[in-house]
Amino acid sequence: MTPADLSRTVLHAVRRAVDEGVLAGPVPESVQVGRPGPGGSGDYATSVALRLAGPARRSPHDVAHILRTEILRAAPDLTRVDITGPGFLNFTLAPAGRAGLVHTVLAAGIRYGHGDALAGTTVVLAPADEPRAAALTEAVLRLLRAQGAAARTAAARTGDDATERLSARPVPAALAADLFARLGPDAARWGLLRPAAHDRPATGDDLLVQHESNPLFTVRYAHARTRALLRNAADLGISVDAGETYEQQAHALLDTIGDHPGVLAAAARHRAPDRVARHLERTAEAFLHFQETCRPLPVGDEKPSAAHRSRLALAEAAGTVLAGGLTLLGVDAPEHL
């Protein structure tokens, strides 16, 4: 179960409660699900009960208890739904729910995280000549389309659609002319998109350094490493299977993978591809730590086991997220590095 799945589950619970007359008030268009805050528990949390309390003329705790009952009726992938603080709902995934997340990623491929959050929305962006603004416009178009928006560029107002111009701190003129030739398209795009739009773009040769101090290298290396593990597994005759459970050491990686759809949606809404780049860095770091603590391949005389097969599935899912995110940024995800 992904945060997007859980968001839909909570929204359906709200709708059922309103339809059955248990809860009064309008049904929101969407429900935000994220990481639990201080004092929270479990894997995910939402503050929707606090939003609904006023219109329902109930305390947030009362609303949370109503929703908790509705959610547990319809969500077998949850082992617990707890209420904390003034009325936050906290969700703990069942082991099968984590395996289900991996299955979801593998089934969707690099389109995992694409959705319909902006379906029915038309966005017209003004074309840009300055290198950074042009790279930003191209990446935002891909992000918008990945969320179901009808997005295009146009030089001026077209019909009833207002043209939106994206702004970013430009590349210094002295560096702009040969930027892509000097760094190559992948490093140049990463350097332009990784910093937030108001920050100075990265244009130095450190973007080409093959070392963990270079985040672009770390992300691409982590992706290449997932592919190498799968090739080695195939050579050893070890299959990939998401299995039923994952070790505690895998939870940080599962969390970053589960966050991917929400990151893509937020990046599209806020026209902020830097959010995707930062998320890819977190995913890469989580994967590299995971592969050291939960080795996906047997070592020495160790026999292949169900644990190895499920770890390989998680490694493939991590590589899929990394490849999908890099593709949206316009950066290549090499299988060998």
How confident is the model at residue 165, as a pLDDT? 92
Q: What is the pLDDT of residue 199?
A: 97
CA–CA gap between residue 43 and residue 38 (Å, rounded): 13
List pLDDT tens digits, range 59-105. Answer: 999 999 999 988 988 777 788 999 999 999 999 887 767 778 899 99
Return the pLDDT at 157: 55
pLDDT single digits (tens) 112-169 = 999 998 999 999 999 999 999 999 999 999 999 999 999 999 875 555 567 899 999 9
Quick: pLDDT tens for 252-262.
899 899 889 98
Q: CA 87 to CA 4: how far, in whole Å?
A: 21
pLDDT of residue 158: 53
335 pLDDT above the threshold of 80: yes
**pLDDT at residue 109 is higher than 90:** yes
- Structure token digits, residue 14: 């709200």
- Mean pLDDT value across the chain: 92
Radius of gyration, CA atoms only, the chain: 22
Reported as a pLDDT band with limits 50, 70 and 90, residue 1 is: confident
